[in-house]
Amino acid sequence: MNPGADIPPHRHVPPHIPFRMTMIDSDAVIRHFYPEDTPLRRLLLRHSTQVRDKALAILALPSCPPLELDLRLVSAGAMLHDIGILQCHAPTILCEGSRPYIAHGVIGAEMLRAYGQANGLDMTPFARICERHTGAGITAQEVRDQHLPIPERDYLPETPEEKIVCLADKFFSKSGDMQEKPASKVRRSLEKFGPDTVARFDALCRLFGLA
């Protein structure tokens, strides 16, 4: 295991953030579920690296307020947040599974919990990041109203680590040119999910000093 591998060597712990560590080798977890060098694995790694680097960059901004969080959990959690796309049906982003794409966070959480149980690891913090990053979080009411194919409960990011990965993920798509989107474009893309989703995104931006 190389617990330091998730934070790139050119990234430094922002001095205003107390540094706690959760050690997990995200590379090993990804290799377990994606053992072959496939286009889907390369897509996953590119997107996840973008999200990780964006999360760490936001936390390093002078405008980001002091928050006690675990940078290694942020980093590894960002690398693992989309692990569940392997089982989803989304051909435009190379996903050839059978399950609905909206469930990829819940699926990823299931995969990580099973991996942890098999390997004697507590993967709960990483599983929570998986299941709470979709959109700007999903409420049980939204699951009901939209008839979403996931268990009916809240999937809102609660911890700072869950919130920063959820926020950073919104700036990147796994389709198209995969370039970073400005916050204004992110807001427009979330409007189709309703004002509550946009309000949650805006609240995340304020929390981390982006607004």
CATH code, domain with 142 = 1.10.3210
Confidence of residue 211 (pLDDT cuts 50, 70, 90): confident
Number of structural domains found in the chain: 1
Residue 14 domain-assigned (yes or no): no
Structural domain containing residue 66: 19-207
- Per-chain mean pLDDT for the chain: 91
In a domain, 12, yes or no: no
In this structure, is residue 90 part of a structural domain? yes
Which pLDDT score, from 0 to 100, does residue 98 have?
A: 97
Residue 198 lies inside a defined structural domain of this protein: yes
Tell me whether residue 191 is in a domain. yes
Residue 6 pLDDT grade (very low, low, confident, very high; cuts 50, 70, 90): low
Residue 132 lies in a domain: yes
Residue 54 domain-assigned (yes or no) = yes
The whole-number average pLDDT for the span 114-120 is 96
The pLDDT value given to residue 22: 58
97, part of any domain: yes
Q: Note the pLDDT of residue 1.
A: 37
Average pLDDT over residues 136-142: 97
Query: How distant, in Å, are the alpha carbons of 37, 48, 71, 186 from that of 201?
Result: 34, 19, 21, 9
Q: What is the pLDDT averaged over residues 44-52?
A: 98
- Answering whether pTM is above 0.95, one says no
55: nearest Cα among 135, 171, 136, 159: 171
